[in-house]
Structure 1
Amino acid sequence: MFLTPKSGLLLLISCVAAIAAVGSVFELSYGDPRYGVMVTSAILSASIPLTGLALWLAIQDARANLK
């Protein structure tokens, strides 16, 4: 099995961050974000790189366990 607790947690973080990014895009495009434009923009700008980083780290961890 290739999924370790570490890679599973990283995948969970990546999924939650991706959902936050999509939700922020919809909130901003609607025109009246619940938490305000600044907070929603900050969530969006933080969640996009976090999604990519967590996914990359999960893949690296899974590849390390193949050896």
Structure 2
Amino acid sequence: MYLTPKSGLFLGGSCVSAIAAVGSIFELSYGHPDLGVQVTAIILALSIPLTGFFFFAAVKDARANIK
């Protein structure tokens, strides 16, 4: 198995940030976000690149541990 604790942590971070991005999109499309438009937009703007970064880091770590 290629999944290490470190790559698993990165993959979990990617999942959480992707869920935050999807939730923010739904909140903004609804029209009245619970946290306000500005805060929800900031969460969305931060979670999209974090999803890519965490996923890339998980794949890179898993590939580095292939023996």
**Which TM class, normalised by the smaller chain length?**
over 0.9
Uncovered stretches (5+) of structure 1, i.e. residues with no partner: none
CA shift for structure 1 position 56: 0.1
Matched residue type, 1:6? K
SS class of match (2:65): helix
State the TM-score, normalized to the length of structure 1. Answer: 0.98
Aligned equivalents of 1:64 and 1:17: distance in 2?
23
RMSD of aligned residue pairs (Cα, Å): 0.5
Q: Percent identity?
A: 67
Aligned equivalents of 1:45 and 1:65: distance in 2?
32
Q: Which runs of 4+ in 1 moved over 6 A?
A: none
Partner of 1:17: 17
CA shift for structure 1 position 9: 0.2
CA shift for structure 1 position 10: 0.2
Partner of 1:55: 55
Uncovered stretches (5+) of structure 2, i.e. residues with no partner: none
* Count of residues in correspondence between the two structures: 67
Partner of 2:2: 2
State the TM-score, normalized to the length of structure 2. Answer: 0.98
